[in-house]
Structures are given as structure tokens and as C-alpha cells.
Structure 1
Amino acid sequence: MTTKTSYIAKSVENLKPSGIRRFFDLAANMEGVISLGVGEPDFITSWTVREAAILSLEQGFTSYTANAGLLELREKISGYMKNGYGAEYDPNTEIILTTGASQALDISMRAIIDPGDEVVVVEPGFVSYVPLVQLAGGTPVTVETKPENGFKLTAEELEEAITERTKAVLLCSPNNPTGTVLERENLEEIAEVIRRHDLVVLSDEIYSELAYDHGHVSIASLSGMRDRSIVINGFSKGFAMTGWRLGFICAPAEIAAPLLKIHQYAMMCASTPAQYAAVEALDKGMEEVMEMKRSYRHRRHYFVDSLNEMGLGCHLPGGAFYAFPSVAKTGLSSEEFAEKLLMEEKVAVVPGNVFGKGGEGHIRCSYASSMEQLQEAVKRMKRFVENHSGN
């Protein structure tokens, strides 16, 4: 019987698996590992938020919501965006609840990208960005930011990457994996380039609550940017709700409408109990968000100072909960450093090259771990660096 070579689409066959997951899988089979690789808070979702979800179940709220999500929650998000970031959105037509920020990114790209369109992607950047552009039929054009500039995108770097085929720019601030925050002045310069070339910006702002030194600025709040911005956010990071899988999109009505069409067919609606939990999170959970933020800020200073003291040069991240130190002192590549550190000292980190070519020579370390674990990890990493320096 004749069989086909493959039933799988070439776009999927050619897709590389996540480089993050490989190290998680290795660490999962070892005892005594301290993981600095996981990209989620070490806090548990607050009790009042969990209780709201439980109450919704007890009251029998187990049906679908509207495709765009509970109107009550969209109204809360509208107020959250206006009061927190100065960006106004109509809860009836310009806000969509999604199954995490990941789904929000996916449907946003599918809605705006035609085959051959180019999307500028800033690197180092989250591992899903380039594959999602490719799956949507677009061509990713990566811009490698520089460690000497704190991995901040400049208007000049963006300008150089734009061609007549460029359709959109994908930004993430605070950034994963570098923790870099684009401040208002940076964003104003970048926005001028985007407006001049009549581009769309996809702004991943999932770490917006975790901007430590200057506060988060949404690019949609800048002059002339609201109508060309798709803002992606959610409850995973700032509200310690990763497992709830709840994100949201804010976009002008003419962009939100086609996004909603894809969402209707792909997902129907986000989880109903999670939406009721999020109502409570926005209503009464901000104090706990601030407490988490204070804790992360304290850990950030301890961990980054420790990395610099052991010779792993690291800029002070302005947000998120990641440090992105250089491993150049050891003479090891990102992959070699991460693998040897795991095998020899049982500390799991993520090699920087999985976040793009610009990440080579660095590792991503999450400081969303207890101080006790961070202190022990620092001891092990210091010993490892001493053993490998000059190799």
C-alpha cells in the first residue's frame, strides 16, 4: 500500500520545539534540583480570588460566557487600563478575554498577517514569538538588541529592520527574558517610527504589574498609537494566576472585531470560573499584587548583585522576574553552561540562545523563588563559576 511521506504540514514539521521545555524535562528527572528556569510566580493565587471561583461553581455558573467574556470583567479591565495606564477601551467592542496571553498572541497574529508580511520581532524575546509569526504565514525579521544598552530597542535599530513588506512590530515590556523595561522616552521614539511607516504594533504587556523603577507605560497610551496597537495582557504573572489561563486583548473596534471572529471558532470563550476569579482579582486583589512586587524587587537586588559579584555580568532588570547574566567569563556557550550547571550543581537555568541569537552567551534565571532557594542557588553557581572560569 502506498503511503504519504507525512501527513503533517510542512510549517509544523519545520517548527523547532521549545528550548525551555528540554531543560525542564531534564531537571524533572533529577532529585535536589533548584529550578531558576520556571517562568511563573512562586506565590499562590490569593484566597479571595480562589474563593470567588469556588463560589461561581457552587452557584452553578458553569456555562459558556459571551465569546468576548463576561461583560462585568470587561468593564473591570476597561477601568484597569484607563486608571492604571491611561489607555481607554470600550468594554462592549474593544476587549476580548482569551485563554491566556498565549492565545491572545496567536489570534492577533492570525488576524493581521497575510502570507509574505514581515513582522519585526525584538530579540532576545520569548520563545513563541517567531514560531507564531511563521504559523500565521508571516516572515519574522529579528532585531538583536545589545547588552551594553540594557537590551533596549532603539528607534534606529527598528528603522533598519523595516522594509516595504513590514506589517507589524512585536514588543514586550517588561521583557522576557531580559527584564528590560521600555520607558516613556524609549517608547515615544519607537512610536514615531511605527506611525511614520503606518505599522501595527503588538504589545505584549503581560508583566505590566511588575515594572519596578519607573512604572509601566503602555504604548497604546501614546499620541496616535491607540488605533494601531493591539495590547496583550492577562492575569498570569502579576496576579499569580498562571494555571487559570486567562488573558485579554485590548484593541480598537475595527481590529477587535476580526480578532473575535477567530476567537469564536478557535476557543468559543475563556474559562468561566477563571473569569469570575479575575473579577475579584481586579476588584480586591491589588494589595496582594503590590506585596508580590515588593518581594520580587527585594530578591532582584540580592540575586543580581550576587551574579555580578561572582563575575556573571548582569544589568539590573527593570521588570518581570528574570535576570539575564553573561556567562562569557566561563568560556562556555549558553547551552554548555546550562547543561553543566544542571549536571554538576543541580541548578536549572535556561540557555539564552533559545530566546534568539542575541541571547547567546547569556542565561535566563528566574528569581521568582524563595530567598532560601536563591541563596542556595547562588552558593552552587558561585562554586560552578570558580571551577570553570578561564576554561
Structure 2
Amino acid sequence: MKLPVRSRLPIELWLALWLCLAALIGWQAWPRQLERGCWMSEWPFENGCDKWPDVTSRDESPEIYQRQLQANIGDSHTYAKLVRAWWLREDVRAVTLLAPARQLAPFDVALLSVQATLSAQQGNVDVAARTLVEMVERGSVDARKPLMALMLEPSTQNAVLEQINANSRWLDEMLMSIDPKVPPSLFQQFVSQGQALGILRINTVLNMVERLKRSGDWMDAYTLWVTAVQKVDKDLNNPGFDQRSLRRGFDWEWQQQPSNKQGVRVSQVPASPREGSMLEVELTGRAALPQALVGQTLLLLGDSYQLKGRYMSDRMRSKQGLAWVLRCGNGGNRWAQTRDLLETQRQWHSFELSFRVPAECNGAVRLSLEASAPWEARAGISGVMYFDDFELSAITTASVND
């Protein structure tokens, strides 16, 4: 039913009043919103405005922040920026305002930076370490360098070690960024403590193992390796090739050659019809071979050992074939090797090698599969060879193979 015109007039008047009130509020609020958007660099003013400078700019004067606080007394971010600006000007008011500002914005990166620098200047290494760790945990790139300096300085290491706990995410990140030239002994405690708490990735631990191997710290490297992988075979790891190789540490290793210069392809394949896996070494004949096709670093603390294994080959085109070779862990010349392993027409054959570990190796030995004749490695070899069922055992007497 259509209402009379008179009854509709009050509704229209009310709507008009509400619209006027909304327009008045918007007219009053818009400058405030515009100012906040400019000051906080919010969309669409990410780059600031002419009237209100960008709050993220580092060259703003303290006076700008003071004016902002006069208009916005509770702006915690501006307190942080003011402390930072005073600090850069070496104004003592920065130290006075630091504690109250941190209560308002406890995780502000600018305040944390001032706190870390001030603590270091005052010799309070514990507070400096804790603050830098907080910064790194929150993604601060600038905090990594000073934190690394504390980690690698023997006199300040303990302060950083005390910051490690079961929830520390920063440690793995810092360990992965250490310069390769830094001796591993300087940060080994961090790896050990992180490993014990289970907060390090396996790749981080294996990187440390490789560093220790390169520096000749064989016992430390092997101890860390055992801790990382938890279960290892005695003397020779993964002798039957049944576990997928990590290709690092004290496991089987081999190079991945570029496809256009691939002289060898190495893989672990099923040993069917037998259970488990075996090692397949495919020689393409299209490129030179690396010195070691496959290898494993061993820590042998005994005097004499015997190596046994089985191999099978197919379509091998080589005069002298391959051999399992022994060198010291840090390289050097061959001091023992098996007889030449040649074509077997897909029949399994056995080999064995008895040897005595030279004193100069200090217990670290490198077992590697190589071309028996170096000239054939340079020329390239074609064919496929399989290996399985290795066994390495200590013996009371041994003779060195010719």
C-alpha cells in the first residue's frame, strides 16, 4: 500500500541528517588518515609524501620525530625512530629514552640495534649477545656480522653459547653462513651443542664434517658423523650399498659430471634377484674419467686390514680395467691397490686386498675406485661394472699387495 507523502518525510530527513553527519566525520578524519598513511608509508603512500616524510627514511632529523610524537603521544614506532636518530647524533638522550621505548616496542629492530651497540660499548657481552640473537631471529641482516664476530672470538663465545636452546632457529642460519676459510675449531662447540639439542639440519652437520675432514681433524669429523647418522657400520660404511648414500662425510661419494662431459655415471640399483642394492658404475667412453670414480673416507685405528668384495662387468673395453686403490685421507700417492678388474661377461667374481695402514696416514685412509692405468682415465673407458658385498676386517698380520 502506498504511504501518504507526509509519513515519508521524517524518514528522508533522518537519512539526510545521517548523510551530513557521515560527511562531516569523513571531512574531519580524512586529513588524519592521510597523515598516518604518509607517515607509516602505507598504501598508497609507500614512498611517503611531501608534507609528511617517510618514516622509514634513515636520514630524518630527531625534530621530525619529536613533532610527530607531540601530535601522536602513543606512537611506539616513532619513539624507536627518535632513539635511533638521537643515537646516530651521539645525543645522550638516546640512552635515557632507550629503556622506556623498549617497553613500548620491545622487538623494534632499531631499538635492538641501539641496545646491542650500547651493551658492547659498555662491555656487557651477555646483553649484546642476547640482543643480537633476537635481531637475527627476527630476520635482521645487519645483526649477523657482529653476532658472528662474538661467535668466533674465544673470549666472547660463552656469551653466545648461553643463548642456544631447543627453540633456537638462528644457530643453523649462522653456521651455514660462516666463511669457508674460518678454521672449524673456532665454532665446533656451536655445532656440538646444536647437534645435541637436535636443532641443526643434517646438511649443516655434514658441512661441519667436511670442514673437519679438510682440516685433518679426522677423529672429530668421524665422531660428529657418527652422532649425525646415529647408525654406522664398523670401519667401512654401507658395505653392501643397500642404504642410499649421502655422498658426503664417511659415506660413499662420487662426482656428478656435466652431461656434455660425462665419462662415468654412478648409481645404486636393485641387486635383483637378490635382496638389497648394488653399485653400478657405467663408463661411457665419451670423456676422461675423474681420478676417483667412487670413494669413501675411512678411519682405521688398527694396523692391518683385509678388504673383500664382489664385482661383475659387461662389455668392458679397457686394457687394464679398474682397481680399488688406497691413499692417505689427505691425498698423496697410491700405496695399495687390488688386482686389475676386467671383463667378466656378466659373471660375479671376487677380489681381496690385504694391507697395512702407513703411519703417515694417521689412521685416515681413502678407498677409491680408479682406472688402473692413468692413461686410460685420460682416454676414457666404456663398459659397465657392478660391485656388492664388501667386507673390511682387521687382521693380525697383513702383507702389502704388489
Q: Taking structure 1 as the reference length, what is the TM-score of the superposition?
A: 0.20
Instruction: Name the structure where helix makes up a greater proportion of residues.
Output: 1
Larger relative contact order (CA 8 Å, sep ≥ 6): 1
TM-score by length of 2: 0.20
